[in-house]
Structure 1
Amino acid sequence: MSDTLIEEPIRPTVIDDTAAPAPAPVADPAEAQPAKPGDGGAPPRPARPRGAACLLAALALVALLAGAALGVYFLFWRYEPTARRHIPGDANIVLRLETADLALFGPVRRHFLPLLDEAPSGTSQRARIEAATGLDVLSDLREIVIASTDAASWVALVGGRIPKDRFVAGMEKVARDEGWAGLRREGDLLLLGPRAVIGQADDGTLVLGTDVEIVKAALPASDEWQRLDLPEQGPVTFALTSAAWSGAAGAVSAVLPRAGALFRRIDHASGTFTLGAEPALAMRLAPVSGDAAAALAADTQAFLGSLKLALALLPDVAGAGTAIEGAQAVAQGDRVELRAKWPHEGLDRACAELAQRARGARDAARDAGGAPRAAP
């Protein structure tokens, strides 16, 4: 039919007329030879190593991940220690705790952390504290420093990513809502009964003490901590000055004269307590001027031997008896190294007992203030 449309076949393009040549294999750089004179044409282009592109991509990925990690660190995790700056100038006993290590330690995680989530009024105490103060106890706290000037007045210094100028007022609200007994304000301080005072330093550090005087002494920042020889690394570190050893000697001399004489020969000491599956104590003792480390080490080991016999007749508190039984004191240069493995079970037992006491004290304060108790 004349009106039938006949479509002519599409003519192939130039590219379609000729089959595309197969890609030439990449030459091995070791086999590439320079062009010889008279061969004609341009010299062959050196082949680029195949691994170069992969290497550049890997380096770019590493740089990207490193940048992201640094960003998270500086924005969220970086913390400049502040608690030690608030150690009172006349402190002679200092203990420092890394809160991250404590939270991961089994006995603390099992016995203490549940206290924060118990909810007598429908909302956990941790949530109420965060709402009132802006502080998440588990993620924002980084360090706790406990210090004393005379073994009677104590202060706990808490550092971390803590909102400034908010904690005291926030905790007052929590305490009033829960009906805590003995609650009152004294200027910038919050008093919770006769032996609990809360303050906050200008840099955000929390100051919790047993009396108003030691809290006020800890609020200003200073460099007094540098004289204590307190180790800066470790889950638990501590330092005791000559005043602490002298005070301990005076306290025990009447009952344990041998211990009193030994303590008077120690000028100062510092050490670390390692947590984990196998807790261990490591302490360095500095003898007083004129006393040799070797002589002090021998007398310390002899005292530990006599102490084993005395502790065998008493209940093993927190595993101390087992730890002392295997303790060793040896001279290392001008110091005495004292090392002891601590039984994990003893620390678990001690944490359980302390947590139960804390729970009882909290419930007693609520009952005294008329607040409802948590269901057992």
Structure 2
Amino acid sequence: MPDTLIEEPIRPTVIDEAAAPAPAPGPDPAEAPSAKPDGGAAPPRPGRPRGAACLAAALAAVALLAGVALGVYFLFWRYEPTARRHIPGDANIVIRLEAAELALFGPVRQHFLPLVEEAPAGASRRARIEAATGVDVLADVREIVIASTDAASWVALAGGRIPKGRFVAGMEKVAREEGWSGLRREGELLLVGGPRPRAVIGQADDGTLVVGTDVEIVSAALPASDEWQRLDLPEQGAVAFALTGAAWSGAAGVASPLLPRAGALFRRIDHASGTLTLGAEPALAMRLAPVSGDAAAALAADAQAFLGSLKLALALLPDIAGAGAAIDGAQAEARGDRVEIRTKWPVEGVDRACAALAQRAREAAGAPRAAP
């Protein structure tokens, strides 16, 4: 009975297969099993390794990007810190600046970057300096350390990817082109500002740039040493600082005639270090180490009492760089064998301080006064 019989389809010949048109696209064999001619399910055919191929491609792309990033880091960005090695041996005040973080801070960009760009005519000062010295000030300087031995003589040390042996001669060329006043050379040093120079420029053998207020402190900073290790200077933070016992003793001598309480407190501090975090709300954190035999808890209580009395005194004076607001919110407390003082520093005060320092730098270089 033809109605009840299932007729098996006729298998095509080899010639029929060659002549037959290509079948319409259907489901991926890897996703659906094919049927046997007798109606049974055929064993699944192996699918294409699309997932594995995509994963391999993604891993290759990540490896390539990582390789490029490492190459850029080691060839262009990484550098061995050298500035701290040139802190003078008798320094008692040290401030370290992370150039990359400072460059992103608004007041620094506004007040200090113009010093690099300002020039009487022609190319920008930044381009002039780079052409003469091989140093792109904004890209090559990574770390700046400022130190003093007596709060009167100061030196600034700049480290980074800096060519050796070119900076002094190059800066002399730039200075003469721009007509700096009182310019002269003394050996490997460039003096600016007449018989009593306002600035002295030198360069250490490892490339570190040295700029100071007098010949003595610049000469003391040129040789490398390990003196920086004794200062307990923090290595992280946009701004880090350290003050030795000698600095606190000197501050005590200055403060005692007017503020006896301050003088007595400063003499109880063996050394201190801290950081200033920049941004929309700059924050100051300081750690004080009491002298031997003094308890941190007692020093913290006296420090908080002194901050309170200082707040009242500063309320009668003009605010300098936001110090009044910072002291108003300062809190001192004992943590272990140290005293921690923390406060917020108003960004408006930091802006005023940057403007004043930039103007002093402009005047030291003999440049015209900036427009208000």
| Equivalent residue number for residue 309 of structure 2 | 306
Q: Does 1:281 align with 2:284?
A: yes
Alpha-carbon contact 1:265-1:288 (below 8 Å) kept: yes
Q: Deviations over 1:31-78 (max 9, x none)?
A: 9xxxxxxx9x9x866546642221111111100110111111111111
| Equivalent residue number for residue 58 of structure 1 | 58
Instruction: Give me the TM-score of the superposition, normalised by structure 1.
Output: 0.86
| Equivalent residue number for residue 6 of structure 2 | none
1:28 positional shift? 6.1
Instruction: Describe the shift of the 1:45–1:112 C-alpha distance in structure 2 as closer, same or farther (beyond 3 A).
Output: same
Instruction: Give me the TM-score of the superposition, normalised by structure 2.
Output: 0.87
SS at match of 2:281: coil
1:122 positional shift? 2.7
Instruction: Describe the shift of the 1:315–1:343 C-alpha distance in structure 2 as closer, same or farther (beyond 3 A).
Output: same
SS at match of 2:69: helix
Q: Within 2, Cα distance between the matches of 1:18 and 1:89?
A: 93
| Equivalent residue number for residue 34 of structure 1 | none
1:179 positional shift? 2.0
Identity, in percent, stands at 81
The alignment covers a number of residue pairs equal to: 348
Matches within 5 A, 1:112-123: 112-123=112-123
Gaps of 5+ in 1: 1-12, 32-38, 368-372
1:309 positional shift? 0.5
**Counterpart of 2:118 in structure 1: which amino acid?**
E
Q: Deviations over 1:115-135 (max 9, x none)?
A: 322231233222211111111
CA-atom RMSD, angstroms?
A: 2.5
Q: Within 1, Cα distance between the matches of 2:199 and 2:330?
A: 36
* Greater mean deviation of Cα atoms: 312-321 or 191-200: 191-200
Q: Deviations over 1:156-186 (max 9, x none)?
A: 1001111110000011111122222221111
1:195 positional shift? 3.2
| Equivalent residue number for residue 295 of structure 2 | 292
1:154 positional shift? 1.1
| Equivalent residue number for residue 230 of structure 1 | 233
Matches within 5 A, 1:1-376: 17-20=19-22, 25-27=28-30, 47=47, 50-193=50-193, 194-362=197-365, 365=366
1:218 positional shift? 0.9
Gaps of 5+ in 2: 1-14, 34-39
Q: Within 2, Cα distance between the matches of 1:227 and 1:243?
A: 13
SS at match of 2:332: strand
**Counterpart of 2:305 in structure 1: which amino acid?**
A
Q: Within 2, Cα distance between the matches of 1:198 and 1:14?
A: 93
SS at match of 2:349: helix
1:150 positional shift? 1.4
Q: Within 2, Cα distance between the matches of 1:153 and 1:317?
A: 22
1:349 positional shift? 2.2
